[in-house]
Each structure stands twice: as C-alpha cells, then as structure tokens.
Structure 1
C-alpha cells in the first residue's frame, strides 16, 4: 500500500464520505499505459465473502503467475470488513484486505487482473480502479457481469464490443470462448483499454476466465474454508 494513501480512501466513516472519496480517487486515475519494460508478469485478485455473514468477514487473495500459468506466489487475508455491503462501494470492504495480501506477496506481479469492475462503474471507480490507486500498480477490471452499460461481442474467441453507457464507451465485452458468456473488461489504473484487451487475449487459455483470476478465486475460497468454524462430530 502506498504510504501516502489517505485514510478515507480505505475507511470512510459513512456513505457520503465514501462517495466523496470515490470522486476524489476517480480524478486521479491514469488510463494510459505506464508499464514496466519487457515481458509483463500477471497476477490475479479475488475476494470471497457473503453479504449476510454476521461476522462481516472478507477472504482476499492475490496471486502471481508465470507466463506458463503456474503460480509463483500467493497471499491471503481474512479480516472483518469495516464498511457494510453496499453495491457500488465494495472497494471499501475489499481493498484493505487485498492490500494486506500485497504486502506479503513475493514476487509481485507487474499487472493485476481484478475480479471486478474498473471504469465500468456508476462513478467510474470500481474495485480495480480503487485497488490500483491504493497500491500504485497497474490493474485491469475483469468482471463476469455488467454493473453499467451494455455490449455484446461476436461469437468467436477474441471478439469484442464496446460497453456503452450514457453515450460513451467505458470498457469492452470480450468473448474468450465460443459459447461462453463474455467477460467485461475495463481500465483499472495505469493501463489503456487496448493494452488491457491484448493482455487478456494472451492470458486466456481456452477457458472463460483467465488463469490468474481462477488461481486467486481458488486461494480466496481456500482461505474462507480455513476460517470456517469446525463442524462438530455427530454423537
């Protein structure tokens, strides 16, 4: 996590402060490529939680993969979310736990594929944007459903269509496998949409979701299972 991260970017006291923080962060996003030179090492981020969990636990995971899709490093964090579950504000629940994973991850990725929205968000600040700003690293939003807008690509793997919302493109729908629903790709931070799509096309291995996000999903679910209370033996 960047040392200059303002506290209200992570822990706003209420919904009004959270909305103001999102506007402040959105104004600081970089939507052009500021990437390291050479081959890029990709990572994945995902969070497992239940909206109605009375303990409000979130189980976060960050992973780094090599170009062949093997996991080089993984870190997880389970903690109580300070912010309530409110659609459109999930970054305030999830980013603090993911940032804790980042501090322990070695080696770290050059670009993080985030299971969630980037700019394709009502206030232009989805989870991928929020995480990228807090960590100061390039991020890409890779969502399985739309939060705003609409877009339907052609049937072939690699086909894209813009996600249009309020008369402008906020991302692109990408078909990764014939017969599968598209993924919805949008800029997080420090990556252009064109580069984001190129990285996703290269990362996908014939399945709908790229291996970086699958690995993060598996790690987050493993953390959730490890945190679950043991089931007592039957008498």
Structure 2
C-alpha cells in the first residue's frame, strides 16, 4: 500500500496467530532476523508509534506521528481504529498492537527514517518485543522506549544522559536511560537495524524537555484525542 509515492511494506509477512503457542512460534522464528547493522547515516525523520485503548467500547486506536528530527515538528500523522484480535498475554503484546500500527505506517505520506515504539525491543523474554516485530516486518530501523523495565537494572546517575545496563536473565538487553535530571529513567532497547549507542543518542535528541521522547508524546496525544 502506498501514499504519495511513499511505501512502507511488510517484508517478512506471517499469518497472525490465534493461540499463544502459535504466537510464541512466530517470535522464535522472526527473532533470528533482527539486525544490528544497516542503521541510517543520517536520521532526519522519526515516527512515534502508540496504541490507546478505549475500555467503554473495547476499541483500540493506533496512532503514528512523523517528526522532523531538527525541529520536532509533526510532519505527518495517521490514526487507525480497530478491535484487539488477540487476547492480552504478557510477552505477546505485539500480536494485539502490531496489525493496526502496520496499517497506519502504510498510510503515511512522509517516510520515517526510524520507528520509536512505546514498548520493548530486545528487552523481552524471547528478545523479540514490539519494536523488534515492527522493525523486522518493515525492515526499518526501530527502537523500543518503555516506561517500565522488563528486566533488572541499577539506577543510573541523576544527570541527563546517564544510563545503566538493563539485564534480561544474564544478558544486557537495553539501558535505563535518564532523559531528565532527577526524573525516572526510560528503558531503551534496540528493535532492528540500530546499535544501542545510536538508539540512546536518538532518544536523547527526541526528549529535550520531558521524560518521554516527543515521538511517543505526540502519538499518545493523537490516539487519545481521536474522535470515537
């Protein structure tokens, strides 16, 4: 699907599972496709991906915004509404949120250089969170920025830019990154086609004023304000 000549395609399609066992099998298969090379030399645009839930209607709203990395102005945005087609299971969040987010990405008229997901990347029990899933399926550099840790960490220093390793089992799966002095850290983990150093550098650029990056904040606002 394309819009104004810009195309984001699903490069590694798979049937969307209906059971927990099928979903785990998909993750186990796709995680071997995660790459840490091929990151862009220059990042000019960044997309924020977020999903809001409306409990009164059992509806979800997938929102994607594309920001200019220099000004943080919103260049494009898309909203997709739908019903969750997979029940809530810890570690399988992507099977609820990825389908409408992928649809929203295909409707963009501005192609993002990176995708910033409100969720986990490698910091996941099977090292394949939402940011990995979306990144692999679109073959686009991606990073997960989570509000809560999936794993263990020691608190980083209090200064902006301070960080500490985030461990899943005995492996370093991401970082607890301080984006504001004295404010709780966010938890950054690679999704696809980025190094952890680059991912953290980009998130700091996207979070000059608040704890969360502007990509996440703008997508969250869009999803919550979308008409029912």
Q: Fold-level match, TM-score > 0.5?
A: yes
Hey, what does 2:215 align to over in structure 1? 212
Query: Post-superposition shift, 1:180?
Result: 1.0
Q: Which of 13, 33, 42 does residue 38 from structure 1 map onto?
A: 42
Q: Which of 2, 23, 48 does residue 18 from structure 1 map onto?
A: 23
1:187-227 alpha-carbon deviations (Å, 9 max, x no partner): 0011110110111122221211111111011111122xx12
Hey, what does 1:148 align to over in structure 2? 151
Paired residues of 2:62 and 2:97 also in contact (CA < 8 A): yes
1:151-202 alpha-carbon deviations (Å, 9 max, x no partner): 4211000001000222221000100111211000000011110110111122
- 2:152 aligns to what SS in structure 1? coil
Structure 2 Cα separation of the partners of residues 160 and 153 of structure 1:
5
Q: Is residue 29 of structure 1 aligned with residue 31 of structure 2? A: no
- 2:208 aligns to what SS in structure 1? coil
Structure 2: gaps (5+ residues): 1-7
Structure 1 Cα separation of the partners of residues 192 and 177 of structure 2:
19
**Count of paired positions:** 220
204-213 or 34-43, larger mean C-alpha shift: 34-43
Query: Post-superposition shift, 1:55?
Result: 5.1
Hey, what does 1:231 align to over in structure 2? none
> Highest Rg: 1 or 2?
1
Structure 1 Cα separation of the partners of residues 153 and 53 of structure 2:
27
Structure 1 Cα separation of the partners of residues 209 and 9 of structure 2:
36
What RMSD in Å do the two structures reach over aligned CA positions? 1.6
Paired residues of 2:11 and 2:138 also in contact (CA < 8 A): no
- 2:98 aligns to what SS in structure 1? helix
Structure 1 Cα separation of the partners of residues 72 and 31 of structure 2:
32
Structure 1 Cα separation of the partners of residues 154 and 28 of structure 2:
25
Q: Is residue 7 of structure 1 aligned with residue 5 of structure 2? A: no
Higher share of residues assigned strand: 2
Structure 2 Cα separation of the partners of residues 182 and 148 of structure 1:
14
Structure 2 Cα separation of the partners of residues 136 and 82 of structure 1:
24
Q: Which of 69, 72, 79 does residue 72 from structure 2 map onto?
A: 69
Hey, what does 1:60 align to over in structure 2? 62
- 1:185 aligns to what SS in structure 2? strand
Query: Post-superposition shift, 1:63?
Result: 0.8
TM-score (norm 1): 0.88
Structure 2 Cα separation of the partners of residues 194 and 4 of structure 1:
26
Query: Post-superposition shift, 1:138?
Result: 0.8
1:120-178 alpha-carbon deviations (Å, 9 max, x no partner): 01111111111111222111000010122324211000001000222221000100111
